[in-house]
Chain A
Amino acid sequence: MAESNNQSAETKLSDVHKRIKAAFETFDNAANNTVDVREIGTIIYSLGCFPSQADLHDFIAEVEEDHSGYIHLDRFLPAMTKVLLEHKFPPIPKDLLLQAFEVLDKDNKGYLEPEELTKYMTQEGEPFTQEEMEEMLTGLADHERNVIYYKDVINQLAIDPDM
């Protein structure tokens, strides 16, 4: 299919649709174009978006089928397309992320103690559950010193864009 300029908007749209469908289908266990509402966050995140919990709740409210616990592709597709085309939940730039960590690292140590991080993550913002916190600590903490070298972590966990 030749890519000409006037077709590029269409192609782009079709591209976006395919991406969304591919992600959706991974969680569509019954192959009936619906997914459990609890998986929506994962799907949206995997499409490269960074919504907050509040953003997610708003989005779900828009697309859920009357609190059935399920979301149908028919409603998800247009809503998600809009999100992607408008770059609604853009990724967090590395330097911004670094600044955020530095704010929490009040003593400018270059690392965070697990207790410090835990306090913030479980008490501020949109708090983590205990499970989330444990996973984060196990994943991010340096094994020997048991502290979080956030600069390294940010680099290690850099997301490579899907497209």
Chain B
Amino acid sequence: MGCGVTKSDQFHKHSGKAIRAAVLIQRWYRQYVARTEMRRRYTWHIFQSIEYSGEQAQIKLYNFLGYLMDNFTPSSNERNLISHIFRENDICRDAEWERYFCYKKIEVPEIYSGPHLTFPLTVEQAVGLVEAFRNKKQLHSRYALQLLLETWKLLRMLPNINRISTCHSKEITICGDLHGQLEDLLLIFYKNGMPSLEKPYVFNGDFVDRGKDSIEILLILFAFLLVYPSDVYLNRGNHEDHIVNLRYGFTKEVLTKYKMHGKRILKLLQKIFSWLPLATVIDQKVLVLHGGISDSTDLNLLARLDRHNYISALRPPKKRNQSSASTSMDSDLDEDVWGANRIFQRRASLTFPKPLGARDCFHNRSLQDFSDRIKVNVETELEIRRRRRSAFNAVMKEPETETPTLSFDSVYSDNAKEEWKQILDLLWSDPMAQEGCVPNEVRGGGCYWGPDITEDFLNKHNLQLIIRSHECKQDGYEFCHNRKVLTLFSASNYYDVGSNRGAYVKLGPDLVPYVVQYQASSMIRELTVRQSVGRTERSALKVLREQLFAHKSDLICAFKKFDSENTGVVSLNDWASAVESVMHLDLPWRMLRCQLVTRKTSEGMIDYYDWFNELAIIGPNSDNIDQSLLETLYRHRSTLETIFRIVDTDNSGFITMEDFRQTWKLLSVYLKMEITDEAISDLAVTIDSNQDGSIDIDEFMEAFRLTDKKSRLERGRSMFMGTATDLTKLEGDPNI
């Protein structure tokens, strides 16, 4: 605060007036800036809530499929439909794998204009690869497979925890999540130089999914890994996981780019992901890992376990016959474990579904059910919920609604469970401001850990800093826990153009992190804060409107509860309460109200039917499709697509009519919804426009995209399609 001091006689004449005028303008402008900041905050919340609830939904889906696996007869059609995604460690000898991944017979046509690779790879070739990708070339599947095979061989020799040093005055560069955003990797290389003997790099996971160039990023990172194995270090992220990839776009990207050999590439990548190291320690003082830690994280245990048993972090390894660790390429000589252990399981099929009591149980089972370290009883649960960060779960959450869990089976040994928890925590956890350690229910895996946990952990292992990624930050990085934890995120404009900067960190022998920020696309730098907030906000609101529209029936139900006299209007307060009760996104609905509802009655009430007309999003030509079915399809389109891709075992992009029906049955059980066979048949007939008995997945999904198809949010960004309420019951909706 201060009094203006006039600096020139010019002001003297009008000084009193001018000062008052200046004060007024300053007040006005500051208010405006503050409101912009507020908008930026809740825009962020919107994106983050939806992103995390999408992750949660994926885990729920996987969980659900696992449950089905546990309860189907081995030979049932439904089981065959989905069993292959669980068949993670196929029985195969080395020779068989060699044959399966063989690239030698793949011919490279004359017209191919991309790079030709010869092995062993040279640095010129690696650099050439970067250039080729910059010029939008694609690497031929023959070379891709070969590169991946070499990578696999190398990774298998690496320990779980890389240990590196900044000796020779080398500065180590550390990068966070890239998520398929090639532009950002190119920008980092441009600003910082490519990896070399003088320029070591650590890449901290989440190289794939969401962005459109995930495979290119992988190929570049692997190429440099092969050329400079002592100077390039890769940590596994939670997205280096084929289950997560099914939903978040990487699987689709590979199958689209590599139509003939995509499936093999994906299979090889499954193995590669499982062989990625889990963490990196620099100078024995700085720990770099993707997600974080929990109060039970034990580096010694992590160093000892067989990391490649965890093909997906979402599923514990199957119990193996006690063979000693062999030296073959794939040491798990499992039989199909399912067969043997299922003798004791109940049998059911979709046609005669078991009463669903059991499934409610699996939803409520938490990770901690089998971990002896953390016992979560009811009181603690309530306490935990009260202390949840405001961006996430609402304070008064119904217990049965949102406890995403990872199901387990009693065949797993305690050892396996312990190891599994260690890995899960490493890849999925987030830091929190409060002390303690609680399950990360928002994402569905890992923990939230507090500053006291960090302190204890660092002391125990004689470390001084944890560098992790996993969370998008507006400035590309953020310190927390008394600057003992650094979050690093390298995908700029992640939520939308202008949403955030990316960052990387340089660490010299003094181990003081030096952060460098950037933002892809020069257009962004010229936008003011106000303008970029405005853009991002518009995107966020658009996504939110979609979500709201997709929950129309539930919302109307909720509104009716506040409108007993059926007047068709509710107060602003009631509107906000109703919306939160359905959406579970813990957003400041009251503040968002004026952006989401533009029409109000004269008494300041909201006409909700009118509001839905306002929100109405143009859908496909749907005269002959049941409206409520349409709404279901729209709302669950991401889950539906994921299930389709699981069902499409040969990755052709087509599924048969019969499989389509089965998929629907699956979805209806998952959603606890009644969908009559008739309704499904009608739908199938409509979709199979050329009546040839098969359905094009992409075409089907296209039909349900919004009219604005070019929106950045739609291209490969399925994260926004997941919702927290995939399992919402459709309570007494009259339309069904």
Contact = CB atoms under 8 A, between A and B. Distances in A.
Contacts of A109: none
Contacts of B19: 124-125
A9 interface: no
A50 B34 CA distance: 10
Interface string B578-600: 00000000001011001000000
A96 to B, nearest CB: 7
A121 to B, nearest CB: 6
Given A31-B387, A135-B33, A123 B1 contact: no
Contacts of B27: 50-52, 92, 126
A18 B41 CA distance: 18
B14 A106 contact: yes
Q: Which of A29, A45, A51 has the most CB of B within 10 A?
A: A45
The bracket for how many chain A residues form the interface is: 35 or more
A22 B395 CA distance: 13
Contacts of A52: 23, 26-27
B390 interface: yes
Interface in B64-91: none
A159 B434 contact: no
B586 to A, nearest CB: 9
Interface string B1-32: 11011110001001001111111111111111
A30 interface: yes
A160 B594 contact: yes
The bracket for how many chain B residues form the interface is: 35 or more
Interface string B383-409: 000111110000000000000000000
A1 interface: yes
What is the interface of chain B mostly: helix, strand, loop, or mixed?
helix
B6 to A, nearest CB: 7
Contact of B588 (A14, A26, A31, A42): A26
Interface string A124-163: 1111100010011011000000000000000001011011
A97 B4 contact: no
B21 A101 contact: yes
A103 B14 contact: yes
A23 B591 contact: yes
B33 A101 contact: no
B261 to A, nearest CB: 48
A124 B34 contact: no
Contacts of B573: 14-15, 18
Contacts of B30: 41, 45, 53, 132
Interface of B: 1-2, 4-7, 11, 14, 17-35, 37-38, 41-42, 45, 386-390, 433-434, 528-531, 562, 571-574, 576, 588, 590-591, 594, 604
23 contacts: A15-B573, A23-B591, A30-B389, A32-B434, A42-B34, A46-B38, A49-B31, A52-B23, A100-B20, A101-B21, A121-B25, A123-B6, A124-B22, A125-B4, A125-B23, A125-B26, A126-B2, A126-B4, A127-B2, A135-B33, A139-B528, A139-B530, A139-B531
